[in-house]
Structure 1
């Protein structure tokens, strides 16, 4: 790590960038926000990084106390990486960055997408100021990945897996879900073209739309 460059500034932002500002680092954190992962799984999910660079980034994050590794349960030789409690504190900033970055997505920047990224996308889209007063569950099937939003006591939480008695189910592919979130495609256009299917109570659909900032949404101007 002797060749690592530091900003050398007595500033919290600069100190944070010293830890996570290198290329690929936050994308590694993104993968680990989804859960523990083996080295091979991260290589598969981060096309273009290269094994040496991934090893270097993981080593740096481990030295900073952001990432740790442990044997894979039931596999004496396997090892998986996970975020430490310190690393888990990056969830909020990463989701805020993802929400901010959606405004920069264009049809010209379309690239690799994964169903599990839909789970992070929906977390980024949740607006706690629009949480419904009624306790209910919304289920999402995005590219085969299943997750849900549970609204309980005025707080909305996104969790992986099936929800309990969902009042609506939203089914779509990963690209469509991200395009809707990035305002490249309106929910109405996605419904009309069959790329998005919604089943459930109409009023619950409206509440969920407000929660995710999709109510009355139109596609943003391009160019």
Structure 2
């Protein structure tokens, strides 16, 4: 039985967008592909709870709508088209907005370290970037990414920094998301040993301001709580 695409029947840009990406699991597929191409099996593994038929259906629909490109061989993955990549900012804004609704994590909720890279992109507020050129590196479980601030413009980049870092943070995925959701303060995470920070104390403060973890005019003295 073929899937009948539902729509809102409204002549409205938002309704039209939701006709494409509003069904369950679709934006989470987009989330994974914003982090790079993924093969079908990789998507299935990173989206626990989705059925194989439903994933295939969603991918087929997104390809038909021009949001994704279908892999030409098994060695290639599904990839966002240029049209699909326009969803980056809306998805990041939704992720930032949604952090306000995150409750305390429970054992039944999945968390993946690579989601931390998307989370940090959502947390960055360019208006809070300092005019100091520096690099902040994050180790979230086995995933590494960094933020480069160059002439007041911050960029989140996958992988380790190629040069010296002004600040290095190490934590696990669950703690990182809790901090981003402001359910756990960086001082508490440091004090409990769930987060370690090393580097220049002033850079640590600037990175915390950039990510909205402390107010721009002050905040918790992180250097006194375990930064080294």
TM-score by length of 1: 0.92
Give aligned pairs, total: 214
Question: Which residue does 1:221 correspond to in 2?
Answer: none
Question: Which residue does 1:120 correspond to in 2?
Answer: 118
**Could you tell me how far apart the structure 2 residues matched to 1:34 and 1:149 are?**
15
Question: Which residue does 1:156 correspond to in 2?
Answer: 154
Deviations 1:82-105 (A, max 9, x none): 000011110000000000000100
Shift of 1:79: 3.8
Moved over 3 A (4+): none
Shift of 1:71: 3.6
Listed as ranges, the gaps of 5+ residues in structure 2 are 221-228
TM-score by length of 2: 0.90
- Residue 102 of structure 1, aligned match among 99, 103, 109: 99
Deviations 1:57-90 (A, max 9, x none): 0011001100002245xxxx43410000011110
**Could you tell me how far apart the structure 1 residues matched to 2:3 and 2:48 are?**
27
Question: Which residue does 1:191 correspond to in 2?
Answer: 190
How large is the RMSD of aligned CA atoms in angstroms? 1.5
Shift of 1:153: 2.1
The 5-angstrom pairing of residues 1-223 of structure 1 reads 3-71=4-72, 77-107=74-104, 111-163=109-161, 164-215=163-214
Listed as ranges, the gaps of 5+ residues in structure 1 are 219-223
Secondary structure at 1:23 match in 2: coil
Deviations 1:141-197 (A, max 9, x none): 011100000111221110111112111100000000000111111100100011000
Shift of 1:109: 5.9
